[in-house]
Amino acid sequence: MVHTVVPTPVGDLTLVGSDGGLTGVYFTEHRHLPDPTGFGSRSRSGVGATDFAAVEQQLGEYFAGERRAFDLPLAPVGNDFRLRVWALLREIPYGETRSYGRLAGALGDVRLARAVGAANGLNPLSIVVPCHRVVGAGGSLVGYAGGLERKRFLLGLEAEQPSGPETGRLF
């Protein structure tokens, strides 16, 4: 495992990678942040299948409005249910949102909405696996490991509208 820190319009992001690919993208104040001692040594180049330069380039393109999907080798660590939820998140189109209940329905049981919410909250690949596109019933903005201000910014960026009174860099 290795990691690096890159500046973005939503603050510094810690990128974590392994031979299998990108394993983490974390905000500085990330809720449910794993123990950083497990991120390995700091490296600008990455390791194995993780090319931090490619991750940084694609994040830059995303924030510039030039990229709508990420094409990176990913290696998230989680149980089968979480991996299924995170795979569903990657299917939510750029600029669109889904409710927890709708994702639960896609898994075959709308009663799993709370479990989907818990798995969404533990997504280790913020932005790249777009957990910010999940909203509460009726479209309400609820829960985001990076904070609701960042979620609002990301959804505003994808809607190609200002995210509120703030424009430009938030953090």
Instruction: Reply yes or no on whether 18 is catalytic.
Output: no
Three-state SS string across 3-53, please? EEEECCCCCCEEEEEECCEEEEEEECCCCCCCCHHHHCEECCCEECCEEHH
Catalytic-role residue among 10, 22, 129, 131 = 131
* Residues taking part in catalysis: 131
